[in-house]
Amino acid sequence: MESMFKTVQRKNDGPLSERVAQQISSLIKEQNIGVGDKLPNEFELAESLNVGRGTIREAVKLLVARNCLEIRRGKGTYVTQELGKIEDPLGFDYVKDKLRLAKDLYEIRVQIEPWIAAMAAERIQEEEKEELLNRCAAVEETISAGADHGASDVAFHQYIAKCTHNDVLPEIIPIITYGVDLFTRIREKEPIENTLQYHRVITEAICANDPEAARQGMLDHLKSNLWCINRLETMDLQPDTGNR
């Protein structure tokens, strides 16, 4: 692997550690180094790139922060399982007014997710229908158990996006659903039952290859979420994460 590296030219713009990080990142992409693969050790990288070991350490830190690499103590440096994906890429955790954030994200979701549901109904493969039903059932089971259903809910919406066979959409869904994960503080029976009802309607419409019913079901689901947001606002609450 050492021969795959090229000496970093110091005359280029930008910090040397950043250029080394870019070279390592390029190597991962160009050589199709897979997730979980181990990189050469610090000494080998420094020698191959003709830079100091301190620069290698700084470059690796940059790539760790970008979730490209992970350091396993006593074992070495490896390519991460979720290559390049970082949690909360838009910094929503630092937005204080979560209700305002939820409303802003609702405006995005109501434009995008009904369209995604309709596309999924058009493009879903027969072998994917059972998994979609399983994802829907997982949300129902989690809610019935009285547990936090946030993760299973995201997985449900994400799988709908996957059924569009557009590689971008499944990566967008967890971002736009983030701020609407805000309702478990209100546990009235009606909103929870609505979640179960709308998920089932959406799932059945997609599995029936009915784009219009899928689009309308998702739109109704999102409008129900907006009702929850408005209720929280009326009660002057800033909720924790929960129902999508």
Structure confidence at residue 99 as a pLDDT band (50, 70, 90)? confident
Q: Tokens 């027969």 — which residue? A: 126
Query: Where do you find CATH 1.20.120.530 in the chain?
Result: 93-234
Two tokens at 133?
A: 């039903």
The alpha carbon of residue 121 and the mean position of all alpha carbons in its chain are separated, in whole angstroms, by 22
What distance in Å separates the CA atoms of residue 181 and residue 40, rounded to the nearest whole number?
A: 41
Query: Where do you find CATH 1.10.10.10 in the chain?
Result: 2-79
Tens of pLDDT, residue by residue over 134-158, are: 999 999 998 888 787 878 888 899 9
pLDDT at 184: 44
- Overall CATH class of domain 2-79: mainly alpha
Nearest CA to 178 out of 240, 85, 114, 119 is that of 240
pLDDT at 244: 46
- Global confidence as pTM: 0.68
Beta partners for 78? 38, 70
What distance in Å separates the CA atoms of residue 51 and residue 29, rounded to the nearest whole number?
A: 21
Cβ contact 185:76 at 8 Å:
no
Mean of the per-residue pLDDT values for the chain? Answer: 83
Architecture of domain 93-234: Up-down Bundle (1.20)
